[in-house]
Amino acid sequence: MAIITGTNWNAYDAATMTAREIYGRTLADLGKANPKIVGVTADLAKTTAIVHFADAFPDRFFNVGIAEQNMFGVAAGLAKAGLIPFASTMAIFTCLRGGEQVRTDIAYQNLPVKIIATHAGISFGHAGTTHHCTEDLAVMRSIANMTVICPADGIETSKAVQACAYTPGPVYIRIGRGFEPPCYESDHYTYEIGKAITMKEGSDLTIICCGIAVLQSLQAAKTLAEQDNISVRVINMHTIKPLDREAVIKAVTETRRILTVEEHNVLGGLGDAVASVIAESGKGCVFRKHGIQDTFATIGYAEDLYAHYGLDANGIVDQVRSILGMEFEEDENWDDE
Amino acid sequence: MPMASSEKQLLLDTAQDLRLSLIDVMAWSGGSHIGGSLSIVDILTILYFKYLKVDPKNPTWEDRDRVILSKGHAGAGYIPVLAKKGFFPKEELKSFNHFGSPFAMHPDSNKVIGCDVSTGSLGHGLSIAAGIGLGSRYLKKQYKTICILGDGECCEGSVWEAAMSVAHFKLTNVITVVDRNRLMIDGFTEDIMSLEPFGEKWRSFGFEVIEIDGHDFDQLDDAFAKAWSAAEKPVLILANTIKGKGVDFMENNVVYHYASGDSAVCEKAKSSILKGGQ
């Protein structure tokens, strides 16, 4: 897996630019260095910001119109011709509308198509449920050969996009609509696909999270330290597949309480991926999956929805307090080791 | 220019031999999509033994012509062609469909040498062809990409999404062939979901439509010659074919969309193929 250390993307100000904008600019920069990088979209060049690549390289950018199935088939064909296609549309039209093409044309043939899907989760809340996507992690992680990434913010999106260009096989990167504040203060950190990042050390409980939940979890951890004297570890599990099993087991062993937080249905996403690792490890711990509880989200602006579904710092604080109230160690049948 | 009679005879003999192989594969595999495989034998024969630039000794040669069998269920008709062309020994086809075999009902390009694209789910091939066409044009490659569609497959909406792209991007390096055998699993196309006016549909989507008898080598030759030199509009060859072609009791018989055969049936089929002269 490619390791992205320091970076050239300081020019992109994550405080004023959406993750999509940073993606589009990063891709345009990658295109300068590598003529094999090509782009495709289905009438969402501006919306996904792949337009920055399109403007820079019109001879290797293809807009197929509103036809996602065709778009992923075309991307597979471009890869068959020896190129590295980046394909962008909204997350819901990727994992379900074009899902079979993603699975059969791209993943089954193990082609190096890089899918950057925007408006994931409930980030486009006011668009209504047709444009929400709380299913993509479940779909994508069950497709063999697929690498699945959910960056924490624009800076990490840039790193993930760089890394995926040099990672073999298909990669799925989900980003939101992107008006959320950045999580990282600078890009001076090492990013490697499949390696979780411990954002903050802690000993009482670990929050394993991805995407927008990383910043909110960090803020929650700060509140919990100040108000409750609770030491919370925060792990940014930016790669959902392959999952960093070691980071999960270490957290279980050292903190004995795990909370997963994701902007996704709690069925099939990060929480289930972490749960599998814990269950197979044979180690016991308190565990809770926090996210969208198997329901279609209501309508509203993203910030209001995050608050409603407890995906903001306040909601995460509540979850942690509730978990810490669980007296699991007093169970007589509990075998701690 | 009409084909020389010796060249035509060679194609007829090759097609006959391939039809016999198809019957062997039907027996070895325990069952195959024999009807829709027999209908494309003549199309595949003229492609692989006259038109395509491929090298069995260098199957991933960058400049080779590509073939996408979008009607992937005819893998049992396509894979023996690759064997005959020399990509692998015919003997290996005995493993067809069996545990660990590279050869399945629907071809896997990561396993079958000489197969360019994995297919099987209908309505996918033409989009992939469009992608290869766009990619090869960007890379300034001269090779052609041939996509073979089934007629029943054209019920899939994605075929028409792809058709729009092939025409919009003026991909004359993509040659689309429709095997118009008029039958799908549940019956005649015109009874299940009518395709007609079929040629008109393709024409209105922006294709140069060449309608031929898909079993007549002179007509196939003319059509592919025109398609190879197309410069303005992408070509669609509408090949009117007979499902089960070459085996009298299978012809136009929906029962033989997918079939297995005991030795008696196989013998009867082979004897019909030999009598037919093709």
pLDDT tens, position by position, B152-180: 999 999 999 999 999 999 999 999 999 99
Mean residue pLDDT across chain B: 96
Check CB contact under 8 Å for B118 and A109: yes
Confidence of residue A204 (pLDDT cuts 50, 70, 90): very high
Taking the C-alpha atoms of residue A294 and residue B92, their distance in angstroms, rounded to an integer, is 50
Q: Which is more confidently placed, A4 or A17? A: A17
Check CB contact under 8 Å for B161 and A76: no
- Domain of residue B107, CATH code: 3.40.50.970
> CB distance from A101 to chain B under 8 Å?
yes
Q: What is the dihedral of CA A67, A69, A73, A75, to 10 degrees?
A: 60
Residue B277, SS3 per DSSP:
coil
CA distance B165 to chain A (A): 6
- CA–chain centroid gap for B202, Å, is 18
- CA–chain centroid gap for A252, Å, is 22
Would you say residue A78 has pLDDT above 80?
yes
Would you say residue A337 has pLDDT above 60?
no
pLDDT of residue A193: 98
Q: What is the pLDDT of residues A27-39, one digit of tens each?
A: 999 999 999 999 9
Contacts of A120 (CB under 8 A, 6+ apart): A90, A91, A133, A136, A150, A174, A175, A176, A211, A263
Check CB contact under 8 Å for B165 and A69: no
Taking the C-alpha atoms of residue A237 and residue A251, their distance in angstroms, rounded to an integer, is 12
**Count: domains in chain B:** 1
> CB distance from A39 to chain B under 8 Å?
no
Residue B195, SS3 per DSSP:
coil
Check CB contact under 8 Å for B161 and A67: yes
Check CB contact under 8 Å for B116 and A80: yes
Check CB contact under 8 Å for B121 and A104: yes
Check CB contact under 8 Å for B120 and A77: no
Which residues of chain B does A83 touch, with a Cβ-Cβ cutoff of 8 Å? 135, 138-139
Confidence of residue A187 (pLDDT cuts 50, 70, 90): confident
Would you say residue A15 has pLDDT above 90?
no
Q: A191 φ, ψ to 5°?
A: -115, 125
> CB distance from A270 to chain B under 8 Å?
no
0.90 surpassed by pTM: yes
Taking the C-alpha atoms of residue B200 and residue B204, their distance in angstroms, rounded to an integer, is 6
Q: Which is more confidently placed, A337 or B138? A: B138
- Residues on B contacting A at a C-beta cutoff of 8 Å: 62, 66, 108-110, 116-118, 120-121, 123-124, 126-136, 138-139, 141, 157-158, 161-162, 164-165, 168-169
Of B109, B118, B124, the CB nearest to A73: B124
Check CB contact under 8 Å for A83 and B138: yes
CA distance B189 to chain A (A): 24
DSSP tag of B94? G
ipTM of the complex: 0.96
Check CB contact under 8 Å for A60 and B162: no
Q: A59 φ, ψ to 5°?
A: -80, -10
Q: Which fold has domain A12-174?
A: Rossmann fold (3.40.50)
pLDDT of residue B278: 44
Which residues of chain A does B118 touch, with a Cβ-Cβ cutoff of 8 Å? 104-105, 108-109
CA distance B272 to chain A (A): 38
Q: What is the dihedral of CA B22, B23, B24, B29, to 10 degrees?
A: 80
DSSP tag of A76? H
Q: What is the pLDDT of residues B209-236, one digit of tens each?
A: 999 999 999 999 999 999 999 999 999 9
Mean residue pLDDT across chain A: 93
Taking the C-alpha atoms of residue B130 and residue A293, their distance in angstroms, rounded to an integer, is 41
Q: Which of B66, B118, B138 to mutate to test the interface with A (most CBs of A within 10 A)?
A: B138
Confidence of residue A13 (pLDDT cuts 50, 70, 90): confident
Check CB contact under 8 Å for A76 and B110: no
Of B108, B117, B162, the CB nearest to A80: B117
> CB distance from A62 to chain B under 8 Å?
yes
Check CB contact under 8 Å for B131 and A73: yes
Which residues of chain B does A104 touch, with a Cβ-Cβ cutoff of 8 Å? 118, 120-121, 124
With a pLDDT cut of 70, the percent of chain A lying above it is: 93
Which residues of chain B does A79 touch, with a Cβ-Cβ cutoff of 8 Å? 131, 135
Confidence of residue A325 (pLDDT cuts 50, 70, 90): confident
Q: What is the pLDDT of residues B3-22, one digit of tens each?
A: 999 999 999 999 999 999 99
Residue B263 lies in domain: 5-276
User: What does the domain layout of chain A look like in residue ranges?
Assistant: 12-174, 194-325
DSSP H helical ranges for chain A: 19-33, 45-48, 51-56, 68-80, 91-92, 99-100, 136-141, 154-165, 213-228, 245-255, 270-281, 302-308, 313-324
Q: Which fold has domain A194-325?
A: Rossmann fold (3.40.50)
Q: For the stretch B211-231, what's the b/e string if a residue is b when 16 or more beta carbons lie within 10 angstroms of its beta carbon?
A: bbebbebebbbbbbeebeebe
Domains A12-174 and A194-325 share a fold: yes
pLDDT of residue A153: 94
Of B110, B128, B157, the CB nearest to A73: B128
Q: Edge-to-edge strands of the sheet including B66-69?
A: B66-69, B145-150, B174-180, B235-240, B208-213
